[in-house]
Amino acid sequence: MANITFSSPKMKKDLTVYATAGDTSTLLALAKEHKIPVDFECENGECGSCAVKVSILANKQPMGMHLTEKEKTVLNLAGKITKDQIQDAEVNDIPPPWRLACQFIVRNEDVLVSL
Ligand code: FES
């Protein structure tokens, strides 16, 4: 379904994992399953510790666009996303660079996740 590549200075090399069709788990769940060192605390979109940079690699309309209300609030308070970027995501389908791994649902698209 989708190749999800995790990249981090904490890892010896980038790791690409395959998310299977019908999988609707979060990026954080996928990272935990593959023992990728994503920071997290609450797992509920409240603490902001799981913020990661997500780049869509597919050359088509991004699918994993939807930001939860918690994600918008926490990322905005952390200074990782502006109100304009939130509006761009909602109105123009332009994905913001920072996401919360515990809120981002993996879709059928290849992405690069930078920790
Ligand atoms: S783990 Fe707290 S916001 Fe994701």
Q: What is the CATH number of the domain that holds 90?
A: 3.10.20.30
3-state secondary structure of 45: coil
**How far apart are alpha carbons 80 and 61 in whole angstroms?**
23
What pLDDT score does 77 carry?
A: 96
- The 10s digit of each residue's pLDDT in 83-102 is 999 999 888 888 899 999 99
The tally of domains found in the chain comes to: 1
3-state secondary structure of 58: coil
Q: Give the ranges where the chain is alpha helix by DSSP (H).
A: 27-33, 69-77, 83-92
Mutate-to-test residue for ligand 1 from 47, 52, 68, 105, highest number of ligand atoms within 8 A of CB: 47
- Indicate the pTM of the whole model: 0.90
Ligand 1 site residues (CB inside 6 A) read: 40-43, 45-50, 74, 100, 102
- The 10s digit of each residue's pLDDT in 19-33 is 876 667 899 999 999
Tokens for 72? 């918008």
- The residue segments making up the domain with residue 94 are 2-114
Question: Ligand 1 centre from 51 Cα, in Å?
Answer: 7
Is 101 in contact with 28 (CB distance < 8 Å)?
yes
The percentage of the chain sitting over the pLDDT mark of 70, rounded to a whole number, equals 93
- Residue nearest atom 3 in ligand 1 by C-alpha distance: 45
**60 vs 52, more confident:** 52
3-state secondary structure of 98: strand
